[in-house]
Structure 1
Amino acid sequence: AIVADATVISENMFLAAAEALSDEVTDEDIAEGAIYPRLPTIRNVSAKIAERVADTACREGVAQASYPEGYAQVIRDYMYDPSYST
């Protein structure tokens, strides 16, 4: 929603986020009793959720920023990197 500069957060955007999250839960995760993706995949999962939400905002006409090449790389570039150089 931030990258798309959405004017509102719609119910469909919440639904898109929930669906994107559930898509990232593997059969292995479910077999082990997990209902969320594994923590080591959090950055990738977060990017996929953000992309799905931004795409939904664009389709609904509430995105003020659009990128012809799509949101994926813009979202990755926007993400905070917690690593430190030594």
Structure 2
Amino acid sequence: MPVAGFHHDMFITENYMVMIDGAMSFTPQEAIKGKQLWMFDQARKLRFGIFDRSKELTKANLQWIEADVAAELLGKPWMASH
């Protein structure tokens, strides 16, 4: 991924791993300048990375689904099970 984000939660089932890539960016270089450490990037849309666990973990095997809006999922709003 081109940015350092807030990749805190993911869902893991028997067959899949789903990673959440939200609009929060971790920007320590900006914090050193007195700006915020965490920035919400309105231009960065919410994405879900879906990986089939039976395959090798490579960029080519990670499928991304992008939402229409920028968003961040904080806490534990969902529960995944198989």
**Structures share fold, TM-score greater than 0.5:** no
Higher helix content, 1 or 2: 1
Higher strand content, 1 or 2: 2
